[in-house]
């Protein structure tokens, strides 16, 4: 797989016109299972096709049980300077119910190892709406996250994927999930606790200390072109999208023949407009009406018209010539965005 990814880097070298990278992100699946030598192999191949400054953000997603002092030391020496740790919960019963391989002690130890190793750009993931969770148990998780004093916290609602242990147990009635109203309360509780503690809620699922926003994710929301490598990886240019086949064996076989196993679709005007609305509404910066007028002037009146009811209901604020979601508006982000979408006949 690593050999194939390195070859794909060469095959895709002309996808990005800007050869100076600002971020590299090892994510999707569990990249922390890779040996540090394999991660360095990928970075070395990237360096043959691209350049970057010393302050580039290089992130690795990691499970707590994969983190050791030796591994972090080697990763840091190789250039990885940001870690995103999938903690999910500090309550062992919740981890067990969702079939996680680690426990809460391993999570705390993993963060400590990273901090001791000098990784000063650290993000953790925690999940709300976990099995049998309540506002009290969720507050415990939030408080434990705050005690760690990390720069960045990402938080998502639990999703139950088909053909998983969790899905099987939920269907059997062996695991109970909180109702939607309870999940919404946990999300609002999260916003209140983290913003009160000084974190900026800069995107619907992301909180950071000032100036510690994830550069890589922010680039997604600001429509910066990106190249994805490996099976299932997606790539983006303003006028088209591209995605690789999601079968590992077929991916490796195709790459070995010098063929990128990908599909591509052109993005129409409506797609570009809709994506702009969806991504900007998710962020604290919101929809910039000046930028909207410059890029999509013919849609401006419809946006004003369709968003008016959400301003009246206090789901959206108009301030500094930007439309921004309020905390309760963030609960309806997808619905509000879709009401503003342009639908081509």
At 345, the pLDDT band (50, 70, 90 cuts) reads low
At 55, the pLDDT band (50, 70, 90 cuts) reads very high
Structure confidence by residue, pLDDT tens digits, 66-97: 999 999 999 999 999 999 999 999 999 999 88
Q: How many CA atoms lie within 13 A of 113 on its CB side?
A: 23
CB of 73 closer than 8 Å to CB of 115: no
Domain boundaries, the chain: 18-221, 273-340
| 138: nearest Cα among 155, 163, 115 | 155
Q: What is the CA radius of gyration of the chain?
A: 21
Question: CA-CA distances (angstroms) from residue 209 to 151, 153, 212, 214?
Answer: 5, 9, 5, 10
Average pLDDT over residues 141-157: 97
The answer, yes or no, to whether residue 161 has pLDDT greater than 80, is no
Specify whether domain 273-340 bears CATH 1.10.10.
Answer: yes
**pLDDT at position 165:** 66
Long-range contacts of 229-232 (CB under 8 A, 24+ apart): 229/5, 229/8, 229/9, 229/12, 230/1, 230/4, 230/5, 230/8, 230/28, 232/28
CA separation for the pair 74, 36 (Å, rounded): 6
Structure confidence by residue, pLDDT tens digits, 252-279: 999 999 999 999 999 999 999 999 999 9
**pLDDT at position 17:** 94
**pLDDT at position 132:** 87
Structure confidence by residue, pLDDT tens digits, 11-40: 999 999 999 999 999 998 789 889 999 999
**pLDDT at position 78:** 92
**pLDDT at position 177:** 84
Q: Which CATH class is domain 18-221?
A: alpha beta
- Residue with token string 């993931």: 125
Q: Which residues pair with 85 in a beta bridge?
A: 62, 124
């Amino acid at each position: 797989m690593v050999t194939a990814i390195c070859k794909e880097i060469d095959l895709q070298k002309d996808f990005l016109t800007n050869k100076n990278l600002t971020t590299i992100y090892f994510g999707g699946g569990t990249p922390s299972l890779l040996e540090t030598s394999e991660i360095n192999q990928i970075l070395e191949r990237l360096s043959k096709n691209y350049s970057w400054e010393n302050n580039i953000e290089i992130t690795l997603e990691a499970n707590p049980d994969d983190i050791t002092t030796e591994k972090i030391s080697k990763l840091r020496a190789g250039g990885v300077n940001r870690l995103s740790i999938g903690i999910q919960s500090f309550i062992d019963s919740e981890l067990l119910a969702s079939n996680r391989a680690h426990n809460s002690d391993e999570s705390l130890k993993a963060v400590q190892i990273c901090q001791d190793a000098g990784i000063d750009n650290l993000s953790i993931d925690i999940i709300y709406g976990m099995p049998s969770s309540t506002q009290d148990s969720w507050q415990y998780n939030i408080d434990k996250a705050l005690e760690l004093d990390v720069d960045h916290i990402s938080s998502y609602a639990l999703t139950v994927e088909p053909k998983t242990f969790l899905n099987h147990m939920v269907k059997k009635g062996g695991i109970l999930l909180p109702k939607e109203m309870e999940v919404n309360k946990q999300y609002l509780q999260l916003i209140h606790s983290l913003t009160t503690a000084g974190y900026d809620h800069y995107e619907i699922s992301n909180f950071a200390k000032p100036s510690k926003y994830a550069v890589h994710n922010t680039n997604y929301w600001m429509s910066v072109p990106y190249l994805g490598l490996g099976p299932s990886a997606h790539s983006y240019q303003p006028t088209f999208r591209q995605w690789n086949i999601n079968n590992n064996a077929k991916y490796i076989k195709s790459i070995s023949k010098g063929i990128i196993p990908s599909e591509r679709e052109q993005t129409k005007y409506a797609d570009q407009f809709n994506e702009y609305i969806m991504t900007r509404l998710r962020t604290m910066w919101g929809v910039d009406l000046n930028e909207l007028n410059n890029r999509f002037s013919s849609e401006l009146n419809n946006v004003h018209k369709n968003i008016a009811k959400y301003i009246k209901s206090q789901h959206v604020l108009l301030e500094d010539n930007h439309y921004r979601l309020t905390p309760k508006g963030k609960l309806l982000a997808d619905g509000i965005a879709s009401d503003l979408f342009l639908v081509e006949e």
